[in-house]
């Protein structure tokens, strides 16, 4: 009996322990489920039967469990108008084993809106325009009718057929005194104008008219190369008197009256009318010391974020950009944040902005389209940069700079990624955007993305700090649509070593060859991607871009450009109907270009020279054109037909027995470019495949005029030389290609590489105009010179 009792007690104890363990394990694996529905109430407990109605209420419920167990917030279909920005702080964080997930129950079914829905009583006004009273104090940045963004009243009117025209409609008289005479009070209107060189754009707020009837305005800080607005490419909006086309609107905040001219098929009695209120819909607010961690936002549609173009002010070091640090989603001080399967639809500024310290941010499976500014921005803190400079003309004393490699702090994005995304319609408001832009960041990956319809670059890297980026299997095309002198991929590298006077940099680099790699400390790789730019270069490594590996890329139109940098290695690429563009190289640049297929003779600008010819430009196949056998170039290159497999269908692999194999070329896949997610791939566009245009071996350039004047050899500009000098084709000029020692030109200070743009105040575009102007001038001649992309005034006796 004693043994039976003992065994029975032992059995009960063991059962208690087992059940306790099961309960403990169950609590470890169980997720806290919180439910949100538009039909719920924030007084509810957030269960599936009694959901809350807002994400803010769900967030408060999630905080009690965050980090202790997995949390899943299930968001039902519907539109969620956010009263204020949803802010995640460190106390909202999950962990690696206990993450926090906010997800739409059905992908694309839950819409997060930064706007409000209006209920309006529309009445006819005049000439097809309707009017409705709005609530006092309402400011309207954007008007959405039945889900589509409408246009502020503008001049000239919007023409969707002019895809590559500035603002899809421009006029030189947009702000003329004569035009403004028709405006009662233009204050609150906006001027949008291209940069004078078409390097992006400017924006201004109209403040009124002066006593002479001229328009007054403020702004113009949106471009980091301050050269003024273009004389012709201008547009004004938010002017009541210009409301004259279907789809245009104007809101008079003083009288609380909204005016709108609907399209013919719009029934205003049933139309859904929404306006935008918030700039940022979601923010993550942490720090490096106390980050927001392990939160996922999945499956939402994000709409109705305000335009921010008048606050795009902060210069991105010495790149051509300024930036607004914000977006529909803004991340600061985070680790392991994931944004998955999200659609960003018609947001007014940037879609996603990853600001300063952020580690391992993942953006995957997203559809980002019709953005006012950029798609995804990875932007660090300038104070993490050693010896930062903020404008093209600023310079360091290179003998005194900090020679420590890399950043000063960790306050920058690192190891983030944009994967399997469809990004298009970028820069609908601003004209210096990109599908993905990277500046002061490290080891960012852009993979399996389709990027197209961009006002400027598809993918942009603003400086060398701090490299290590990977761009692979992307499809990037229809870029630089309204601008000029840029690429589908564009980069700058105006880092510590770079000086606008190349000779100053060269002197110090000769002493310390590691100088170009103090900021570009890790190699950036561009591979296995397809590029097409019809208004610039397919891949454009501009001023100073250094430490790049570029291979297995198919370039369909604009070719490959290297300007002023170090250690750019390009191999096994194909350039269709174009070639290699070496622009203005340093001596001992360590550049290598080999085993590529180019269609045409290289198009160099002041490269190669006897002192600047890189490490190796050789073993390439030139299809059409001729070899460039100078300074050791092309000693083992060949001129031949590469024998493409099926170029009409975009298969530019080469056939068995192709001569391309003899120069080391290897085939790479032609069916792996762009987005892979099935729902996105089904709607993604692909680039137009060009017909082959084989360059004749004896004619690779347009003819140019030459002359000798005052001991200087002069030449017209052609092709990409305009870019090399930093001038537009409309401006032009006459290039000085040689100056004889002791000549009048030399005594006056003229140098090889100068560009003459004016004589005695008269602009000249070419040698024909130069001859005409100089013949008429008498006495001392005043010359306007462009030297190192800066204006210089010189005087030369006749």
What HEC string does 161-176 produce? CCCCCHHHCCCCCCCC
pLDDT at 78 > cutoff 50? yes
Q: Region 566-576: what's the mean pLDDT?
A: 98
pLDDT for position 778: 65
- Asked whether the beta carbons of 756 and 783 are under 8 A apart, the reply is yes
* 779 burial level (CB within 10 Å; 0-12, 13-18, 19+): exposed
Q: What are phi and psi of 382, to 5 degrees?
A: -55, -25
pLDDT band at 5 (very low <50, low <70, confident <90, very high): very low
- Asked whether the beta carbons of 167 and 192 are under 8 A apart, the reply is yes
pLDDT for position 747: 83
149 or 703, greater pLDDT: 149
pLDDT band at 8 (very low <50, low <70, confident <90, very high): low
Alpha-carbon torsion 380, 383, 386, 391, what sign?
Answer: positive
pLDDT at 714 > cutoff 90? no
Which pair of tokens denotes residue 79? 């539109």
Q: Region 727-745: what's the mean pLDDT?
A: 84
Phi-psi label, residue 516: left if phi above 0, alpha if psi -120 to 50, beta otherwise: alpha
Q: Region 435-447: what's the mean pLDDT?
A: 98
pLDDT at 371 > cutoff 70? yes
Q: Region 712-738: what's the mean pLDDT?
A: 81
- Asked whether the beta carbons of 280 and 326 are under 8 A apart, the reply is yes
> What percent of the chain is predicted at pLDDT more than 90?
83
Q: Region 177-184: what's the mean pLDDT?
A: 97
Residue 664 burial (CB count, 10 A) = 15
* 759 burial level (CB within 10 Å; 0-12, 13-18, 19+): buried
Q: Region 69-95: what's the mean pLDDT?
A: 98
Q: How far is CA 768 from the centre of its chain?
A: 39
Q: How far is CA 160 from CA 13, 165, 169, 304, 579, in A?
A: 79, 10, 9, 22, 33
Least-confidence region, from 57-71, 261-275, 625-639, 760-774: 760-774
Which pair of tokens denotes residue 617? 């430009």
For residues 653 and 622, give the distance between their C-alpha atoms in angstroms, rounded to a whole number.
16
E strand or H helix that includes residue 376: strand 376-379
pLDDT at 27 > cutoff 50? no
Q: What pTM was estimated for this model as a whole?
A: 0.90
- Asked whether the beta carbons of 317 and 389 are under 8 A apart, the reply is yes
Q: Region 593-609: what's the mean pLDDT?
A: 96
For residues 291 and 357, give the distance between their C-alpha atoms in angstroms, rounded to a whole number.
9
Give per-residue burial for 193-232: e unless 16+ CB within 10 Å, then b.
Answer: bbbbbbbbbbbbebeebeeeeebebebbbbbbbeeebbee
Q: What is the pLDDT of residues 602-640, one digit of tens each?
A: 999 999 999 999 999 999 999 999 999 999 999 999 999
E strand or H helix that includes residue 782: strand 781-787
pLDDT band at 735 (very low <50, low <70, confident <90, very high): confident
- 């030139």: which residue's tokens? 622
pLDDT at 19 > cutoff 50? no
- Asked whether the beta carbons of 639 and 697 are under 8 A apart, the reply is yes
Q: Region 636-659: what's the mean pLDDT?
A: 98
pLDDT at 7 > cutoff 60? no
- 């096994």: which residue's tokens? 572
DSSP 403: -
pLDDT band at 716 (very low <50, low <70, confident <90, very high): confident
- 């004889």: which residue's tokens? 740
pLDDT at 533 > cutoff 80? yes
Residue 274 burial (CB count, 10 A) = 23
For residues 647 and 641, give the distance between their C-alpha atoms in angstroms, rounded to a whole number.
13
Least Cα distance to 72 among 33, 41, 17 occurs for 33
pLDDT for position 494: 97
pLDDT at 781 > cutoff 90? no
- 């941010």: which residue's tokens? 361
- 């906010």: which residue's tokens? 102
Q: What is the pLDDT of residues 30-66, one digit of tens each?
A: 579 999 999 999 999 999 999 999 999 999 999 999 9
pLDDT band at 307 (very low <50, low <70, confident <90, very high): very high
pLDDT for position 60: 97
Q: Region 672-684: what's the mean pLDDT?
A: 98
DSSP 311: G
Which pair of tokens denotes residue 496? 């510590």
pLDDT at 15 > cutoff 60? no
Q: How far is CA 474 from CA 302, 387, 650, 652, in A?
A: 24, 34, 15, 16
pLDDT for position 703: 54
90 or 743, greater pLDDT: 90
For residues 503 and 505, give the distance between their C-alpha atoms in angstroms, rounded to a whole number.
5
Half-sphere exposure of 140 (CA within 13 A, CB side): 30
- Asked whether the beta carbons of 142 and 275 are under 8 A apart, the reply is yes
pLDDT at 24 > cutoff 70? no
DSSP 566: S
Which pair of tokens denotes residue 148? 């589509």
Strand 706-709 vs strand 712-716: parallel, antiparallel, or unpaired? antiparallel
């Amino acid at each position: 009996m004693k043994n039976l009792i003992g065994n029975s007690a032992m059995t009960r104890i063991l059962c208690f322990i087992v059940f306790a363990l099961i309960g403990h394990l169950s609590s470890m694996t169980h997720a806290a489920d919180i439910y949100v529905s538009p039909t719920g109430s924030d007084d509810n407990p957030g269960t599936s039967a009694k959901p809350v109605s807002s994400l803010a209420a769900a967030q408060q419920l999630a905080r009690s469990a965050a980090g202790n167990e997995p949390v899943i917030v299930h968001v039902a279909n519907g539109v969620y108008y956010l009263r204020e920005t949803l802010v995640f702080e460190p106390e909202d964080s999950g962990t690696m084993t206990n993450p926090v997930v906010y997800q739409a129950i059905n992908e694309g079914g839950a819409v997060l809106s930064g706007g409000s829905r209006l209920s309006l009583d529309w009445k006819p006004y005049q000439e097809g325009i309707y009017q409705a009273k709005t609530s006092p104090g309402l400011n309207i940045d954007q008007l959405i009718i039945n889900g589509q963004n409408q246009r502020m009243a503008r001049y000239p009117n919007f023409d969707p057929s002019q895809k590559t025209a500035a603002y899809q409609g421009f006029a030189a008289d947009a702000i003329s005194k004569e035009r403004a005479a028709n405006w009662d009070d233009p204050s609150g209107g906006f001027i949008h104008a291209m940069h004078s060189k078409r390097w992006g754009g400017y924006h201004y707020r109209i403040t009124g008219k002066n006593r002479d009837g001229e328009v007054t305005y403020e702004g113009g800080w949106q471009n980091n190369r301050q050269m003024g607005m273009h004389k012709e490419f201008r547009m004004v909006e938010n002017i009541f008197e210009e409301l004259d086309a279907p789809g245009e609107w104007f809101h008079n905040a003083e009288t609380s009256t909204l005016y709108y001219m609907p399209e013919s098929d719009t029934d205003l009695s049933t139309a859904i009318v929404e306006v935008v209120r918030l700039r940022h819909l979601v923010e993550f607010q942490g720090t490096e010391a106390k980050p927001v961690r392990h939160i996922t936002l999945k499956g939402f549609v994000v709409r109705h974020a305000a335009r921010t173009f008048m606050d795009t002010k902060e210069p991105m070091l010495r790149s051509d950009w300024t930036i607004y640090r914000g977006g529909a989603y803004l991340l600061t001080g985070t680790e392991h944040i994931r944004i998955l399967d999200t659609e960003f639809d018609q947001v007014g500024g940037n879609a996603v902005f990853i600001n300063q310290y952020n580690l391992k941010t993942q953006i995957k499976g997203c559809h980002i389209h019709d953005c006012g500014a950029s798609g995804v921005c990875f932007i660090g803190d300038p104070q993490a940069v050693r010896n930062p400079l903020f404008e093209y003309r600023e310079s360091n004393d290179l003998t005194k700079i900090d020679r420590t490699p890399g950043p000063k702090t960790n306050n920058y994005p690192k190891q983030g990624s944009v994967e399997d995304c469809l990004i298009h319609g970028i820069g609908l408001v601003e004209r210096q955007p990109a599908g993905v832009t990277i500046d002061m960041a490290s080891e960012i990956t852009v993979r399996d993305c389709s990027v197209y319809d961009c006002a400027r670059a598809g993918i942009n890297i603003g400086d060398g700090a701090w490299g290590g980026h990977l761009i692979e299997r992307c499809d990037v095309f229809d870029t630089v649509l309204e601008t000029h002198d840029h690429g589908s991929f564009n980069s700058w590298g105006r880092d510590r070593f770079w000086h606008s006077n190349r000779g100053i940099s060269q002197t110090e680099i000769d002493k310390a060859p590691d100088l170009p790699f103090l900021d570009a400390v890790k190699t950036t790789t561009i591979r296995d991607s397809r590029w097409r730019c019809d208004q610039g270069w397919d891949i454009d490594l501009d001023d100073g871009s250094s430490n790049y590996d570029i291979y297995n890329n198919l370039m369909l139109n604009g070719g490959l450009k290297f300007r002023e940098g170090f250690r750019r290695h390009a191999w096994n690429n194909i350039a269709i109907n174009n070639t290699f563009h070496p622009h203005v190289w340093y001596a001992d640049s360590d550049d290598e270009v080999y085993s590529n297929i180019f269609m045409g003779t290289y198009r160099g600008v002041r490269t190669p020279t006897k002192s600047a010819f890189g490490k190796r430009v050789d073993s390439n196949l030139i299809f059409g054109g001729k070899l460039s056998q100078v300074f050791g170039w092309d000693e083992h290159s060949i001129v031949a037909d590469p024998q493409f497999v099926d170029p009409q269908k975009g298969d530019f692999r080469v056939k068995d027995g192709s001569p391309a194999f003899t120069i080391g070329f290897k085939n790479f896949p032609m069916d792996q470019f762009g987005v892979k997610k099935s729902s996105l791939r089904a709607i993604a566009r692909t680039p137009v495949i060009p017909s082959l245009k084989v360059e004749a071996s004896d004619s690779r350039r347009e003819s140019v005029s030459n002359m000798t004047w005052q001991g200087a050899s002069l030449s017209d500009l052609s092709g990409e030389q305009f870019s090399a000098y930093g001038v537009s084709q409309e401006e032009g000029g006459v290039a000085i290609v040689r100056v004889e020692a002791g000549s009048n030109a030399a005594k006056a200070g003229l140098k090889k590489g100068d560009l003459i743009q004016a004589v005695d105040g008269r602009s000249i575009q070419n040698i024909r105009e130069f001859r005409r102007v100089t013949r008429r001038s008498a006495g001392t001649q005043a010359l306007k010179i462009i030297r190192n992309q800066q204006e210089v005034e010189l005087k030369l006796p006749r």
